[in-house]
Amino acid sequence: MPDAASPIWHLPTLPEVLPWPKSYAVLGLPISHSLSPAIHQAAFAAVGWPGGYGRLEVDTAGLAAAVDRLKTIGFSGWNCTAPLKQEMYRLCQRRATSAIRLGSVNTVLHENGVLEGYNTDGRGWVLAVEEAFSVSLRDLRILFLGLGGAGAALARQASWEGCPLLLLANRTASKASSLAAELEQRSRITVVPWEKAALAEAAANADLIVSSVAEDPLFLQDPGFLDRLFGPKNFVLDLRYWPTKLPLLEAARERGARAANGLGMLLHQAALAFELWTSTPAPISVMREALVAVTSAGYRETPSR
């Protein structure tokens, strides 16, 4: 079973020629602990695709130069993670509907010097929620805790899915208000102040609580508040998947809520990217096994995509 070990490049160390007949990579900063190589290498092997997958550490300022090099070398495509998705959107000559709707690109298909940008995060998230909780996402009222790049993108996806109510909570209130103004033409939106009373009231009106905050909020230290935030009727999704025990999910489960981490979304967005590159159905079971194997091995630091 392939593990996460794969080339880690920087712009000066990119190879001069294609390292594999079909070459792919994940771009981001940091990138050393990305799980994407394990998933994609297993999938390539399973279907006999002559591909390989490396990692390129690059920041936003260096992305344009890195993309030019990947095009020149002849890479067939790549993924990108934080903080590059909005800048990658700008660099693509063509953008699929998925990218336009979410305003960012996480998957690129390169053909004859033309970059076509997609976003598989949104659909991957939908599939992950439906798989984890055996529900249709479009039936759910959703509370978003945190509206950074990932949270805002998924709120946009939920709006396009037709969810009946989106509750937007962010430490910086102006970001929630701005996103609400963008989405209110399609969806019923409520902006929720980042305060305990308001968050508890919003949770009582939500079916699914989605957290994209990088660190656990201080309210997780208040058991009484947690009793008001979570209950058996709730589904709770933390987009992180490291460490293996996330306090938000532990607190939710202790109060009877069904909870899941971000590994399902990681799996499904990767499968969708694989299908875009290969025009072949993704071997989901193989990719899942690879993901389980590499996460079971353990990490000392927080892995990215």
Which residue is associated with the tokens 């963008």?
182
Q: What are the backbone angles phi and psi of residue 210, rounded to the nearest 5°?
A: -115, 120
Q: Which of 22, 85, 196, 245 is catalytic?
A: 85
* 196 is annotated as an active-site residue: no
As a whole number of Å, the CA-based R_g of the chain is 19
Q: Known catalytic residues?
A: 85
